[in-house]
């Protein structure tokens, strides 16, 4: 048991919209210095959970504590020590990059002079060193995202909430954001992030939970989830006739088999027996790999599309 | 009383400062065109109104009309841009600010802009020598009250709106009828008695009565009642708007 109080504690949170529970009976705690991930398909309740944690929407039941303050009662005070990167950018288009940072600091009671002194290091952190005078609409999607991250740091927060921080970005931009986030964790900040990118979660999070239909269905370290919940080896087999091949030759030598479209996902501890069975169908192609978080996620939440 | 709303006023001021010149030109040019066009053009065909040239009478009304328009436009269109299109309100709420802070900030800012527009009319009145001396300057605090009154009501529309189109109803069904009922363009006494009663329930007629009283020295029938009516509209408006904003944003 940790003697230190968690920086975020969510206990039996419930939130309903129009009679439907979006978040139900949700409990978790985040310790100082952790990067905690909330994974889930669209509509799982991730954003609603974050909004409740920040006091931006009132829960129907449950208790929340952020930085040992009760939420939503003391949400405004708690936000002095918090930074937020929302899912959709809401940078101020009437201001330049620098003005965005300075004005946002003002909302934290930070004098403009102090805020202006912080701008260069924030811009540097965000890789926007020479963009201080740019207008917001002149920035690329990745730059806007990084500026939003820099804006979330103007008050030097202890805790950062990031709602899908890299959705819609190209790989280069995502890696740049990830580097920034890793530096923040190394610097002792607590991060709470939602994502539906498994590689993002695997790379960044010390611990994560998988949410579906408003509830947490698994919680552990990324490695722990993979080791506990899924067979270590995956062979993906694809090509014409894969369905018949899988039923006839694979079913009895793998531990779990999923066929979707033209691909068979075979899960097992030992791929040896399956190798031989592939000889029965030379038209099929096979890819052997280690199980990852995405396999866990799909196993837990299914392959159906969520909208 | 906390003063956090001033940060949002500061934000709007800093943005406005960037567009200072076009904003000031619009503030002066628009009413000048109205006053010269209607005041002298129409005034030449009319006899004295309320014992003075029509242009002077009209200027007293325009003082309020311009304040009304300025407060309303800022609270409706600019406010709605910040609420919905630019998500500025949402962003501010990630900081230690509340929805009430933002709504109060919009309210006070729209009123300050309205003071500016009203002052522009006063400057033009001095320029056209319709008023003289320092006495008319006592209208300045009144302009702030007018701005708060009209902006408060307008913010209800802002927080209810789904799109800009919604504001057309407010102009067509509320503001335009009110401006013809309230003694801005012609004396209230020209209206049939029942309509006069309706007019005295509206903020603009009280505004016009107070403005002409302070600037031109006309008799004011119920000055303190007028102040109370304007204050009530403003405070009730911003309170309702704040509740609506909570409903809208904390969903």
Query: Same domain for A55 and A200?
Result: yes
pLDDT tens-digit readout, A56-83: 999 999 999 999 999 999 999 999 999 9
Distance CA A231, CA A237 (A): 16
Within a domain: A2: no
Residue A238, classified by CB atoms within 10 Å of its CB into exposed (0-12), middle (13-18) or buried (19+), is: middle
A50, closest residue in chain B (CA to CA)? B94
Within a domain: A48: yes
Phi, psi of A248 (to 5 degrees): -85, -40
In B, which residues are within 8 Å of A22 by CB distance? Answer: none
Query: Same domain for A126 and A144?
Result: yes
Query: Same domain for A29 and A98?
Result: yes
Distance CA B60, CA A13 (A): 59
In A, which residues are within 8 Å of B95 by CB distance? Answer: 79, 104, 107-108, 155
Distance CA B93, CA B105 (A): 13
pTM metric for this prediction: 0.92
Query: Same domain for A213 and A251?
Result: no
pLDDT of res. A160 = 98
Among B18, B90, B96, the residue with its CB nearest the CB of A79 is B96
pLDDT band at A5 (very low <50, low <70, confident <90, very high): confident
Query: Same domain for A207 and A238?
Result: no
Task: Decide if A39 contacts A297 (C-beta within 8 A).
Answer: yes
pLDDT at A2 over 70: no
Residue A256 belongs to domain with CATH number: 3.30.70
pLDDT of res. A307 = 62
Print the domain residue range for A239. 231-290
pLDDT tens-digit readout, B180-231: 999 999 999 899 999 999 999 999 999 999 999 999 999 898 999 999 999 9
The alpha-carbon gap from A224 to the nearest alpha carbon of chain B, in Å, equals 33
pLDDT tens-digit readout, B133-146: 999 999 999 999 99
The alpha-carbon gap from B30 to the nearest alpha carbon of chain A, in Å, equals 25
ipTM exceeds 0.95: no
Domain boundary among A168, A197, A221: A221
pLDDT of res. A213 = 92
Query: Same domain for A236 and A213?
Result: no
Query: Could you tell me how many CB contacts below 8 A there are between chain A and chain B?
Result: 59
Cβ <8 Å between B95 and A107 = yes
* Sheet of strand A215-220, all strands in order from the earlier edge strand to the far edge: A82-85, A159-163, A190-195, A35-39, A207-212, A215-220
Task: Decide if A232 contacts A201 (C-beta within 8 A).
Answer: no
Within a domain: A42: yes
Grouping H, G, I as helix, E, B as strand and the rest as coil, residue A215 is strand
Query: Same domain for A138 and A248?
Result: no
Query: Same domain for A205 and A236?
Result: no
Query: Same domain for A204 and A93?
Result: yes
Among A residues 191-230, those touching chain B with beta carbons less than 8 Å apart: none
Q: How many domains does chain A have?
A: 2
How many alpha carbons lie under 13 Å from residue A207 in its C-beta half-sphere?
A: 14
The alpha-carbon gap from B230 to the nearest alpha carbon of chain A, in Å, equals 31
């Amino acid at each position: 048991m940790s003697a230190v109080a968690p920086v975020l504690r969510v206990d039996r949170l419930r939130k309903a919209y129009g009679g439907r529970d979006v978040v139900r009976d949700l409990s978790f705690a985040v310790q100082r210095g952790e990067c905690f991930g909330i994974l889930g398909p669209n509509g799982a309740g991730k954003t609603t959970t974050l909004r409740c944690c920040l006091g931006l929407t009132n829960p129907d039941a449950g208790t929340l504590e952020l930085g040992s303050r009760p939420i939503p009662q003391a949400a405004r005070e708690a936000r002095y020590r918090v930074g937020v990167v929302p899912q959709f950018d809401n940078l101020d288009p009437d201001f330049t990059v620098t003005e965005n940072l300075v004005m946002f600091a003002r909302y934290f009671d930070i004098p403009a002079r102090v805020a202006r002194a912080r701008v260069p290091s924030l811009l540097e952190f965000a890789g926007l060193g020479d963009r201080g005078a740019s207008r917001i609409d002149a920035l690329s999607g990745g730059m806007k995202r990084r500026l939003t991250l820099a804006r979330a740091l103007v008050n030097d927060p202890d805790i950062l909430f990031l709602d899908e921080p890299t959705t819609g970005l190209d790989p280069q931009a995502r890696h740049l954001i990830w580097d920034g986030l890793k530096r923040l964790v190394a610097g002792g900040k607590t991060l709470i992030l939602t994502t539906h990118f498994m590689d993002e979660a695997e790379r960044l999070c010390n611990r994560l939970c998988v949410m579906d239909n408003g509830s947490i269905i698994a919680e552990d370290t990324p490695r722990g989830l993979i080791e506990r919940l899924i067979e270590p080896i995956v062979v993906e087999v694809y090509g014409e006739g894969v369905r018949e091949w899988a039923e006839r030759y694979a079913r009895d030598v793998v531990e779990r088999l999923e066929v979707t479209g033209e691909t068979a996902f075979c899960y097992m501890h030992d791929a040896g027996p399956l190798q031989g069975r592939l000889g029965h169908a030379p038209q099929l192609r096979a890819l052997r790999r280690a199980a990852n978080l995405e396999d866990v996620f799909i196993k837990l939440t299914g392959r159906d599309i969520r909208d | 009383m906390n003063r956090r709303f001033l940060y949002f006023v500061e934000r709007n001021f800093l943005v406005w400062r960037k567009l200072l010149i076009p904003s000031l030109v619009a503030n002066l040019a628009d009413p000048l065109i109205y006053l010269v066009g209607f005041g002298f053009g129409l005034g030449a065909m009319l006899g004295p109104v309320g014992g003075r040239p029509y242009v002077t009478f009209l200027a007293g009304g325009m003082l309020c009309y311009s304040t009304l328009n300025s407060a309303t436009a800022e609270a409706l269109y600019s406010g709605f841009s910040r609420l919905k299109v630019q998500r500025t309100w949402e962003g501010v709420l990630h900081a230690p600010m509340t929805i009430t802070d933002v709504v109060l900030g919009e309210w006070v800012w729209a009123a300050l802009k309205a003071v500016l527009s009203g002052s522009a009319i006063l400057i033009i009145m001095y320029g056209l020598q319709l008023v003289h001396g320092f006495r008319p300057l006592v209208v300045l605090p009144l302009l702030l009250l007018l701005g708060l009154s009209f902006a408060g009501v307008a913010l209800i529309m802002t927080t209810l709106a789904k799109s800009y189109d919604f504001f057309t109803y407010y102009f067509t069904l509320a503001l335009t009828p009110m401006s013809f009922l309230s003694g801005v363009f012609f004396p209230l006494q020209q209206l049939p008695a029942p309509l006069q009663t309706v007019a005295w329930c509206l903020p603009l007629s009280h505004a016009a009565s107070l403005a002409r009283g302070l600037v031109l020295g006309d008799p004011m029938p119920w000055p303190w009642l007028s102040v109370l009516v304007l204050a009530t509209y403003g405070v009730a408006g911003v309170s309702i708007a704040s509740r609506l904003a909570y409903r809208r944003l904390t969903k």
